[in-house]
Chains A and B, each alone.
Chain A
Amino acid sequence: SQQGEEDPQALSIQEGENATMNCSYKTSINNLQWYRQNSGRGLVHLILIRSNEREKHSGRLRVTLDTSKKSSSLLITASRAADTASYFCATERMDSSYKLIFGSGTRLLVRP
């Protein structure tokens, strides 16, 4: 199956709540990147975490990486209606290829 599987596929929360999305992958990686896509628009890069890092923060975003479990999580704190989007994790594998492998994404709905 596709490397980079997000969980859940869809998430609906109230504004102000926290949203957690998970990503699992299969092979060893150089880094893992999270992207957001608003409806019908391009991919916006959120954060990159390298294989030797365990946690990174950017504003209201917190990303963790557990290479032993081959999994990552994206936490959005104090969510806003504007956070409504699809979120994708993408892995860059530890081989000679630099392509990103995307999962199918998590659709987040933040209700006002």
Chain B
Amino acid sequence: EAGVTQFPSHSVIEKGQTVTLRCDPISGHDNLYWYRRVMGKEIKFLLHFVKESKQDESGMPNNRFLAERTGGTYSTLKVQPAELEDSGVYFCASSQNTLDTQYFGPGTRLTVL
């Protein structure tokens, strides 16, 4: 069974540009989560989808971040326009049910110059 995959593995952009990160959850997992770890800080929750619906987006830092999960399969996280403080590693995770194990992808390392 394939795990959670993320694309790209690494993205380097300039301040003000737009970047879109993609996450493919484990097949059959209705729950999809985005987290990020910015420089030297803890891994922090961004948002949670149940199928295509946003269950909890309390961790989204501001309106420059937009997450979608059309069709309830893969998800995208768009940052527009990117700022220097957005640099970090963005993780996606999925679980079959809430309260189950969340399986993480390898992460996308975002560098904003």
Chain A residues with CB under 8 Å of chain B are 2, 4, 30-31, 33, 35, 41-45, 48, 88, 90, 92, 97-105
Contact = CB atoms under 8 A, between A and B. Distances in A.
Given A98-B48, A104-B41, A104-B42, 16 more contacts: A2-B42, A31-B99, A41-B106, A41-B107, A42-B105, A43-B43, A43-B104, A45-B101, A88-B43, A90-B43, A98-B33, A98-B99, A99-B33, A100-B35, A100-B102, A102-B44
A22 to B, nearest CB: 16
Interface stretch (B12-20, B52-60, B65-73, B78-86): B52-60
A98 B106 CA distance: 21
A54 B106 CA distance: 30
Contacts of B41: 104
A100 B48 CA distance: 10
B74 interface: no
Chain B contact-residue range equals 20 to 34
For the complex of A and B, list the 4 residue pairs with the smallest distance between their C-beta atoms, beginning with the closest. A42-B106, A99-B45, A43-B104, A102-B43
